[in-house]
Structure 1
Amino acid sequence: MSDSFQSAYQEEEYRLERTMEEVDRQLERLRNFPVYTGHDFTEQVLEAGREERRTALSKSAQQPYFGRLDFEEQGSGARKPLYIGKIGVDREEVGENPLVIDWRAPVASLFYSFTGGEASATYEAPEGLIEGLVYLKRNVVIRQRILERVADTYNRDSDQPAVSDEFLVYRLGENKDNKLRDIVSTIQAEQDQIIRAARNTALIIQGVAGSGKTTVALHRLAFLLYQYKEQVSAEKMVIFAPNHMFLDYISDVLPELGVGDIQQQTFPDWAMNLLSLEMPLADTAETLHTWFETPAARPELNDDVPGRYKGSIRFMELIKEWLSGMEEDSVPDMDFSPWDGAVLSKAEIEGWFGDEYKHYPLAKRKERVMARIHRWIEMELKKPAPEAVRKDRKKKAASREKAYAKKWPQYEPLTLYKQLFKVIKGGSVPASAQQAIPKMVMKQTAADLKENRVREEDLPALVYIHTLVNDIEGNERFDHVVIDEAQDFSPFHVALLDQFVKGHSFTILGDLSQGIHEYRGVHAWGEMSSLFPTEQNAYFALTRSYRSTMEIIDYANTILEQGVKSGITAIPVFRSGDSVRTLPYGSEGRTSSLERALKLLTVKDYRTVSILTRTLHEAKALHRELEQAGWDLNLIDGGKKEYTGGHSVLPVYLSKGLEFDAAIVADVDQTHYLPNAGDAKLLYVGCTRALHELWLFHEGDLPAYASATHNSEGELVSIQEWPEV
């Protein structure tokens, strides 16, 4: 240990002790303060503030900060050490510098954006651009109040070279558990730029596998709540994730950052709740089975397959055009007569509907008109008449009013959706509309709706119809929307959600190379960026992968280059590991080979190891066989809401978004992975789940895009050997 390192370590130990003393003192004072439980509003607000500080200080007491930046603001003549943590901690002395600066504060951005060099650095503050010199950038690892590591990534006063990636590689080398963790101590400059982007902007983020795009989006939510606390609230933010298990996997990140109450759900759950639909969705396993289990049965992939068409803007526009045409036919073609001798003309009712209430949506207009008709009846009943006559009129009016209301269209989304396909099938809409809906879509949807079946792909249309006939209530609007795995969303999804969010405030993230649900998602980000004004959308590409070793990323890149030819490949962080292994099952057979691999990886003390099969059927069968052999394995079949870590068996298509210390991909042969871009993407997804080790097994020949032993630069990317034991 060098003298300079020893000195730095001792300095940080002393600083940590002083910080702990101050945090403990503040926390003890707040805990000793009597908790207010009365009804005085002012005291309730004060108590809420104290409780917020108690919670923040309790978290700070274990790990108060993770970084230090020595900065001299231009013209100040004073070099100040700034300690940066997940939660800011002020000193109790008025006018003193903060004890710990919140990572979201403007000056803290320097810790992420400054990458070295002798030039001055700048950051954007409320008072304008601040310029100065950075003298020291230091990473500090503290766990349970104990200083574990000190690493300088920049020191202006040192002759030693900068080691900016050393601390990052150290953190990336840690093993995974069953939850996604925050990256606040290792945020990179390109990630920080996204996190701190302006609120009223639709950000579209193309991020390669392992680029941290999900974590970046979650940190962006925490930043927006800090930066715009007067304009946004956590309760009005939402994260749309692909499934419940993924929501469980990411569930710890925001609480770790001190953020709660952000809505986290799947789009189907949100849509069904909004529509008050209690019927179950048609089993999506049918679609998954066709696409992933029996690829030979796939329909030809084009914009006319049901998922693509129903997610298109042209379908959205057709619905709007059809519903706008319903306005002319809404008022029943008859006068209204509550009893003989009393008549409310159709012309007058049309005047109410078409002129006076024109600014209301259709359902609200109908509601207003019917309420006005009811008031008219009440006024007519007040006119002089014998009591017996009045009672008879009242009885007839109630019956006729009810019958008249039934002659109006039923502005219920599912009813209207069924009507749309019924009238198109019957030919009672313009020929352009009949031709617009492909025959495959008409056939499937008409059959579904006849049996009262609704598929996930129908939900954007149903919610859109709901908004057109009912409008959007204030409590249904969002301050910000995050869409994860957005390559599997459609333009219709995004255009619809844009009506629910203020100022196009989106974070849309995904990876086209992982677009394995090609039958419903987007094929290019332009399909989404074109939905927003040019000045209110921005595109970012995250090309560095922080998840896997160089060997794994190099191998995965060869799959993309040879099987997809998309031009989107990952740049690895300099973290080396074992070579990728592509192994034949050999004489011992499939199950025995996979079990042997599992044993070899288990002894390395990895917390999470997965076996990825091509199909769910194969995953279930393999899980049974390994259980009978004594293995305790989780079967991930799409029905679970929690990811518990440990050792798992699952089909590749359900692994998207997850990470494992080691991944074993079974049956990588030309029967299971066909020579097309879709299957190459699927294999790419499986390979990029692994952090440290990747093993692939095959019976026959590997598919051409997975058979490379060297990359285009001639570097070794895979070997066909078992490890020496």
Structure 2
Amino acid sequence: MPTHEATQPPDTAAAPAGLPSDPTPIHESADPALAAERRHLAESRSALRQMRERTESLEAQGGNAVSTEYLKATLYHRAKALADDPNTPLFFGRLDYGVDARPVDEEPTAGLAERFYIGRRHVSDEDGDPMVVDWRASVSRPFYRATRRDPLGVELRRRFGFAHGSLTAYEDEHLTDPPATDVADGVGTALGSRILEAEIERPRVGPMRDIVATIQPEQDDIVRADLSGTVCVQGAPGTGKTAVGLHRAAFLLYAHRDQLRRQGVLVVGPNDSFLRYIGDVLPALGEIDARQSTLAELVGRTKIRGTDPPHIATLKGDARMAEILRRAVWSHVKEPSEGLVVPRGARRFRVPAYEVSEILAGIRARGVRYGAGRAILPQRLAHAILLRMEADGDSPDDRVQASVARSRPVKAYADELWPAVDPAKLVFRLLSEPEFLAEHADGQLDVAEQVLLRWPTPPRSAGSARWSLADAVLVDEAADLIERTPSLGHVVLDEAQDLSPMQLRAVGRRCSTGSATVLGDLAQATTPWATRDWTDALTHLGKSGAHVEELTKGFRVPASVIEFAARLLPHIAPTLAPPSSVRRTSGDLVINQAAKVLPAALDGVRTALDRPGSVGLVVPDARIRAVRSALDAAGISYAVLGDTDDVDAHLDVVPASLVKGLEFDHVVVLEPAAIVAAEHDEVTGLRRLYVCLTRAVTSLQIVHAEPLPAPLSG
């Protein structure tokens, strides 16, 4: 599979880093193939611009003002989806079907059945013929799936190399060649393509990129899984699970656009820094309809201003709290002590207490939410009154029943038996009133657990309480018991291993009638309440029948780095298969023990800054201030993750607690032992360290004065 490169004019970017140096550079004039592909790229960009201009020129003329505004919004979103970033390749591959597709001048030959350019979105010419086919279309799937053993009808697969939007190289794979020559022409990479490997290793600056050009078959299976099913991805570091989840959302929006535009798609991430990091992926794929949120934003019915100690947060996140809340909500329904009497003119109609009890029991037996039952009760009471009116010779209709249901005696009686419940005030009572908690926690929590759960010094009211995230999740559960939470069509949940059972229930409510893509790694579980088993987690999410897929082939983390970090696995996740790197380059791993760690870390940072790509300095949270002072004194420019929205800084100082899900070309990890010691137990600390060590794409430097944790020191 030879790689063809082109010598660029002085004002254009060079070929992507990582492309082989052995092929002789070919000038554009000497390579008609490259010239033809560049013409197609220019024509495709022109066609995309015309598609956008046609959309922007359309006038929205609905039948009325409302429909006109709706059409305007639709056209605006369509034009926004057709935006073209000149620095992003419009297509990255080509498929040729039919006769042997090896023309000398790259012009279509007589007998060539079909040719498709595969890209990030569909582009058509003025006649409607495709110039670029969306990567999500079924015709594009052979680009990711075809092999010489099973070519799927493809004669030739071509990959393109780009730099800053300019086409710089191409690489051909003739799928009609015998299977024995799968790795041909001395390419010899684990991925089978130097362009593919160069794209994976391309320096990272700014937010996360899409991976449409590098999707592997096992990832493609997950991306294209049917909307009706929930998929759980257990993915080792560097396997691309986050990217797979985002591309699955993009694929589902493409394949089920009308349905999901109505029902909605939600991406849930662990924190704001993570969401900013992944925020450009879906828009780059032309998808702007998916919403992104943290769990705190999702359950933000109360303002979160406080935090809980780990053992109390763990207790509040326990699944037993769901039953306690259910009991507390429904305890407000009272049995009648006397019947209902409703005057109508000169007559009085009475419903005895025993019949009202039967009505209450019938409503509860229907399994409705508390609020729905409260709305039903006046209608059922009014119906009982109407039966008595009919027995008395009247002929009341539905309007009379509605009038009776709204009457003061019926409303007052129903409110007494089935009062309104405020979810925040309910949780406030549970956390501040010992008797109320004891009544509903009987058989669920022992006395010691009840004492832990209660606020030591209860606030004056629910409005003045310093609610924690765990409290907000309880309020969200109570609110769902009262009024059903609307379900979305699909939810992508990342870093799911760090969620408690109650937090999983909160996310599951948002896709109760839809499906989910659950992403995580049990080895990276760093919260005290973290998931230990995907079966249990999926049950709490309400998706017990989900399919679990394990990804172990790493495309991002270099071999030397992942092998070093994997020394921790027997101690933090002994049941998981160890990850492996499929990259040709092993990466750089430097372990530097120094008496003074800050000067040594700054030297490591300077070395990393001299190389292309992003740099992350991962620091124990407690040492952020000292690191900032040292960087300021050294005159090194930086951004601190969590303190700024800047995702384009060359150097990011990253608290160890926020590094999960991020990646950098070069990583410097400061004092691993301190990262471990900061957690509530050693296993969790080693998991946090595992996360920190596996963020590097090219190089990892470890700077320490304290001894390394025992699993790493062997």
TM-score by length of 1: 0.78
Which residue of the partner structure matches residue 120 of structure 1? 150
Which residue of the partner structure matches residue 59 of structure 2? 36
- Aligned letter for 2:119? G
After TM superposition, the structure 1 = structure 2 runs for residues 315-334 of structure 1, keeping only pairs within 5 Å, are 315-320=321-326, 323=329, 326=331, 329-331=333-335, 333-334=337-338
Unaligned runs of 5+ in 2: 5-22, 101-109, 390-406, 460-464
Determine if the alignment matches structure 1 residue 93 to structure 2 residue 127.
yes
- Aligned letter for 2:519? L
Q: Distance in 2 between matches of 1:512 and 1:330?
A: 45
Determine if the alignment matches structure 1 residue 659 to structure 2 residue 663.
yes
Q: Distance in 2 between matches of 1:350 and 1:537?
A: 41
Q: CA deviation at 1:464?
A: 2.5
Which residue of the partner structure matches residue 392 of structure 1? none
Q: Distance in 1 between matches of 2:161 and 2:270?
A: 33
- Aligned letter for 1:436? Q
CA offsets per residue over residues 453-491 of structure 1, 9 Å max, x none?
A: 43222334322222222234xxx2200011100001133
SS in 1 for 2:455: helix
Which residue of the partner structure matches residue 134 of structure 2? 102
Contact 1:635 1:649 in 2 (8 A): yes
Q: Distance in 1 between matches of 2:437 and 2:76?
A: 65
SS in 1 for 2:660: coil
- Aligned letter for 2:425? T
Which residue of the partner structure matches residue 363 of structure 1? 371
Determine if the alignment matches structure 1 residue 152 to structure 2 residue 172.
yes
Q: Distance in 1 between matches of 2:674 and 2:296?
A: 35
Which residue of the partner structure matches residue 252 of structure 1? 280
Q: Distance in 2 between matches of 1:318 and 1:561?
A: 37
Q: CA deviation at 1:342?
A: 6.9
SS in 2 for 1:599: helix
SS in 2 for 1:429: helix
Determine if the alignment matches structure 1 residue 213 to structure 2 residue 232.
no
Q: CA deviation at 1:506?
A: 0.7
Which residue of the partner structure matches residue 465 of structure 1? 478
Q: Distance in 1 between matches of 2:474 and 2:226?
A: 30
Which one of 224, 229, 233 corresponds to residue 201 of structure 1?
229
Q: CA deviation at 1:673?
A: 4.4
Unaligned runs of 5+ in 1: 122-131, 292-304, 381-396, 709-725
The more displaced of 159-168 and 565-574 is: 159-168
SS in 2 for 1:93: coil
State the superposition RMSD in angstroms. 4.0
Question: Structure 2 vs 1, CA of residues 27 and 695 (structure 1 numbering), >3 Å: closer, same or farther?
Answer: closer
Q: Distance in 2 between matches of 1:665 and 1:26?
A: 44
Determine if the alignment matches structure 1 residue 71 to structure 2 residue 103.
no
Which residue of the partner structure matches residue 638 of structure 2? 633
Q: CA deviation at 1:195?
A: 0.1
Determine if the alignment matches structure 1 residue 510 to structure 2 residue 486.
no
SS in 1 for 2:203: coil
SS in 1 for 2:530: coil
Contact 2:118 2:135 in 1 (8 A): yes
Which residue of the partner structure matches residue 720 of structure 1? none
Q: Distance in 2 between matches of 1:531 and 1:345?
A: 42
Which one of 679, 695, 700 corresponds to residue 689 of structure 1?
695
- Aligned letter for 2:713? S
Q: Distance in 1 between matches of 2:99 and 2:512?
A: 37
Contact 2:488 2:513 in 1 (8 A): no
Question: Structure 2 vs 1, CA of residues 690 and 22 (structure 1 numbering), >3 Å: closer, same or farther?
Answer: closer
Q: Distance in 1 between matches of 2:635 and 2:600?
A: 15
Contact 2:306 2:467 in 1 (8 A): no
Q: Distance in 2 between matches of 1:269 and 1:254?
A: 20
Q: CA deviation at 1:106?
A: 0.9
SS in 2 for 1:527: helix
Q: CA deviation at 1:545?
A: 1.6
Which one of 701, 705, 718 corresponds to residue 707 of structure 2?
701
- Aligned letter for 1:444? L
Q: CA deviation at 1:241?
A: 0.6
Question: Structure 2 vs 1, CA of residues 134 and 426 (structure 1 numbering), >3 Å: closer, same or farther?
Answer: closer
- Aligned letter for 1:148? T
After TM superposition, the structure 1 = structure 2 runs for residues 189-588 of structure 1, keeping only pairs within 5 Å, are 189-233=217-261, 236-272=264-300, 275=301, 277=302, 280-284=303-307, 287=309, 305-320=311-326, 323=329, 326=331, 329-331=333-335, 333-335=337-339, 347=353, 349-350=356-357, 352-355=359-362, 359=366, 360-369=368-377, 405=415, 408-420=418-430, 425=435, 429=439, 433-439=441-447, 441-447=449-455, 450-451=458-459, 452-472=465-485, 476-501=486-511, 503-517=513-527, 519-530=528-539, 536-561=545-570, 565-586=574-595
SS in 2 for 1:176: coil
Question: Structure 2 vs 1, CA of residues 4 and 45 (structure 1 numbering), >3 Å: closer, same or farther?
Answer: farther
Q: CA deviation at 1:647?
A: 1.6
Q: CA deviation at 1:23?
A: 4.8
Q: CA deviation at 1:520?
A: 1.7
Question: Structure 2 vs 1, CA of residues 523 and 59 (structure 1 numbering), >3 Å: closer, same or farther?
Answer: same
Q: CA deviation at 1:555?
A: 1.0
CA offsets per residue over residues 297-342 of structure 1, 9 Å max, x none?
A: xxxxxxxx44444434443244435545x37x43553456799997
- Aligned letter for 1:508? V
Q: Distance in 2 between matches of 1:25 and 1:436?
A: 65
Q: Distance in 2 between matches of 1:646 and 1:441?
A: 48
Contact 2:617 2:670 in 1 (8 A): yes
Q: Distance in 2 between matches of 1:100 and 1:368?
A: 56
- Aligned letter for 2:254? Y
Question: Structure 2 vs 1, CA of residues 323 and 502 (structure 1 numbering), >3 Å: closer, same or farther?
Answer: closer
- Aligned letter for 1:650? V
SS in 1 for 2:210: coil
Question: Structure 2 vs 1, CA of residues 20 and 592 (structure 1 numbering), >3 Å: closer, same or farther?
Answer: closer
Q: Distance in 2 between matches of 1:469 and 1:101?
A: 47
Which residue of the partner structure matches residue 616 of structure 2? 610
Question: Structure 2 vs 1, CA of residues 399 and 563 (structure 1 numbering), >3 Å: closer, same or farther?
Answer: closer
Q: Distance in 1 between matches of 2:305 and 2:70?
A: 48
Question: Structure 2 vs 1, CA of residues 22 and 533 (structure 1 numbering), >3 Å: closer, same or farther?
Answer: closer
Which residue of the partner structure matches residue 159 of structure 2? 139
Q: Distance in 2 between matches of 1:465 and 1:449?
A: 23
Question: Structure 2 vs 1, CA of residues 203 and 401 (structure 1 numbering), >3 Å: closer, same or farther?
Answer: closer
Which residue of the partner structure matches residue 106 of structure 2? none
Question: Structure 2 vs 1, CA of residues 356 and 53 (structure 1 numbering), >3 Å: closer, same or farther?
Answer: closer
TM-score by length of 2: 0.79
The more displaced of 572-581 and 681-690 is: 572-581
Q: CA deviation at 1:162?
A: 6.3
Contact 1:271 1:463 in 2 (8 A): yes
Which one of 583, 602, 606 corresponds to residue 599 of structure 1?
606
SS in 2 for 1:522: coil
- Aligned letter for 2:306? D
Q: Percent identity?
A: 24
Q: CA deviation at 1:609?
A: 1.9
